[in-house]
Amino acid sequence: MVREDLPKFSMPEKIVGESVILVPRTEAYDEALWQLIDKSRDFLRPYLFWVDGTRSVADVHKISLSFYKNFQEQNFFEYVFLDKQTKKLVGAGGVHTVLYNKRQAEFGYYRDVEASGKGYVSEAVRLLTKELFARGIHRLVIKCDVENVASAAVAKRCGFTCEGVAKDGIYVYGEYHDEYVFAKINGEKNNA
Q: Which of 166, 192, 170, 168 is nearest to 180 (CA)?
A: 166
> Residue 1: which pLDDT band, with cuts at 50, 70 and 90?
low
pTM listed for this prediction: 0.92
Lowest mean pLDDT: which of 44-48, 57-61, 79-83, 186-190? 186-190
pLDDT digit string (tens) for 80-94? Answer: 999 999 999 999 999
pLDDT the model gives residue 163: 97
| Rounded Cα–Cα distance for residues 184 and 162 (Å) | 9
* Integer Cα distance of 138 and 157 in angstroms: 19
What pLDDT band is residue 190 in, cutting at 50, 70 and 90? low
Q: What is the mean pLDDT of residues 20-28?
A: 97
Kindly tell me if the per-residue pLDDT of 2 is higher than 80.
no
pLDDT in tens, 56-69: 999 999 999 999 99
CA distance 20 to 9: 23
Domains identified in the chain and CATH numbers: 15-185 (3.40.630.30)
